[in-house]
Structure 1
């Protein structure tokens, strides 16, 4: 009998109880994929988020609140909201400068968080279809705190901003103020990697379709999953998917991948911080 395709896992933090309560009482929700783990915290001014002995780079997304990020080495940077921080391996502390959300994205090598993830049971057995974590080349000037202004370089009609490190790729869609046009959706699937879809503002519907195969016993009905903010939906291959925001007001969606996507990395102009991270040799055109 063929093995059924994996289901997407949905963690709607607007409804869920937190998985971890920080020292000041701030709630943190933790959701994992096979190769990544995402921690979202609703912070107040002064909230401290500490990560110890992180074995590789991780990302901190500050969609609406400023913060100071300090490494164990003492290196420190302070930035307002609407910034992305790429953090080198080691210890890191985030101190929030106001109220809002802080999103921290790690590879699954940061094992400390994996068992706390609300969907941990779904990943008890590794999916053989998924590519493993494979680091891309380190930056020529070495690992260091890198801070990116998400407004910088945006031009009219831009829909997204993509950044990557040596192990992660994040796709931060531009904020929408009106519902997505249902005549312009983008259903697609991935062959060998998961997508972590992070909803940070607004209400979204994820449309999920399991491909048909010759054995009808593994067919499944289409799904339309409505999620609030914040939330994380992990979509495995080869599930066909697309998403739209509904209702008026701001809507913000972010996608996370580990390892980075080769198709995005090879597309000219797609990666905003391409100058900081070289491509693997097999992706460099001769």
Structure 2
């Protein structure tokens, strides 16, 4: 599982018993976002846009919140809603309330938007929509967490206000439907003697590579039916890419580029185990737990 110096080693789920449901285990999925810019998991849909100055991106009229991941390579942009305009000019997470909204782009670079997979405006646009024609039985369905505290409006959580802390696991923000973890930049390849293979009981993980290159090591546990066993996978992906990791596969990811590598992990609904750790979720005062 985790090394003793890994903050995740103290999670309740790190040592919990893991009953098996007996249901089929879905296959991992790997997407080059330059070729397939709209993909989904069971509960979340990801839209990757190589934006250009002057672009006007229509988010549609959404039933749930929109989250936009802003990286160091992203351009400045303005979020336009019925309540006004909000300028975004640095890396972080932007959360837009339900309803109609647009993004007016002021430069060139990538933008990553997250919406609930059931949104009518987006649901059939995912390249892998057919893989979710039926719900995956091992993945818990989305139930939105409580309403945010205070007045409704666009919320921006800049990374510059929350320095990295080795006592936390990354920099984590949540919304009613999503959890986004900005993991630290990895300079050079990961030490192959210090990987962290682990599994999740009932939620998918979307690992978004925004810099560098990764090898995703994924092992599907054996079920009694040997005809559905899979070989271990060791898949190299560049950036931008996203890997959909189904439960309860055993997985770990290793940075492999000699330069800078960075992953951003996405979960839907938010993870209860991360949320239970004091200080880990940086906007917990805005988004209470159930």
Query: Is 1:7 the equivalent of 2:27?
Result: yes
Asked if 2 retains the 8 angstrom alpha-carbon contact of 1:69 and 1:92, the reply is no
Report the Cα offset of residue 156 of structure 1.
5.5
Query: Is 1:218 the equivalent of 2:223?
Result: no
Query: Is 1:177 the equivalent of 2:197?
Result: no
Asked if 1 retains the 8 angstrom alpha-carbon contact of 2:195 and 2:254, the reply is yes
Q: Superposition pairs for residues 202-281 of structure 1, below 5 Å?
A: 202-280=212-290
Of 33, 50, 56 in structure 1, the residue corresponding to residue 58 of structure 2 is 50
Secondary structure, aligned partner of 1:56: coil
Cα distance in 2 between the residues matched to 1:132 and 1:204: 29
Cα distance in 1 between the residues matched to 2:151 and 2:221: 43
Q: Superposition pairs for residues 10-29 of structure 1, below 5 Å?
A: 10-14=30-34, 16=35, 18=36, 29=37
Q: Superposition pairs for residues 120-159 of structure 1, below 5 Å?
A: 120-155=129-164, 157=166
Instruction: Spell out, residue by residue over 1:215-268, the C-alpha distance to the aligned partner (whole angstroms, 9 max, x if none).
Output: 333321100111111111111111111101112112121111111110011011
Q: Which runs of 5+ in 1 are unaligned?
A: 19-28, 281-286
After superposing the two structures, state which structure 1 stretch, 112-121 or 82-91, moved more.
Answer: 112-121
Asked if 1 retains the 8 angstrom alpha-carbon contact of 2:92 and 2:159, the reply is yes
Secondary structure, aligned partner of 1:200: strand
Asked if 1 retains the 8 angstrom alpha-carbon contact of 2:149 and 2:285, the reply is no
Note closer, same or farther for the CA distance 1:97–1:131 as it changes in structure 2 (3 Å cut): same
Asked if 2 retains the 8 angstrom alpha-carbon contact of 1:67 and 1:94, the reply is no
Name 1:40's counterpart in structure 2: 48
Q: Give the TM-score taking structure 2 as reference length.
A: 0.87
Cα distance in 1 between the residues matched to 2:150 and 2:268: 22
Asked if 1 retains the 8 angstrom alpha-carbon contact of 2:80 and 2:104, the reply is no
Asked if 1 retains the 8 angstrom alpha-carbon contact of 2:83 and 2:153, the reply is no
Q: How many residues align?
A: 267
Q: Which runs of 5+ in 2 are unaligned?
A: 1-21
Of 103, 109, 114 in structure 2, the residue corresponding to residue 94 of structure 1 is 103
Cα distance in 1 between the residues matched to 2:266 and 2:78: 21
Cα distance in 2 between the residues matched to 1:53 and 1:258: 20
Name 1:197's counterpart in structure 2: 207
Report the RMSD for the aligned CA atoms in angstroms.
1.7
Query: Is 1:119 the equivalent of 2:128?
Result: yes
Report the Cα offset of residue 61 of structure 1.
1.1
Instruction: Spell out, residue by residue over 1:52-78, the C-alpha distance to the aligned partner (whole angstroms, 9 max, x if none).
Output: 111111211110223333343132211
Name 2:68's counterpart in structure 1: 60
Runs of 4+ in 1 over 6 A off after TM superposition: none
After superposing the two structures, state which structure 1 stretch, 162-171 or 5-14, moved more.
Answer: 5-14
Cα distance in 2 between the residues matched to 1:159 and 1:131: 23
Q: Give the TM-score taking structure 1 as reference length.
A: 0.88
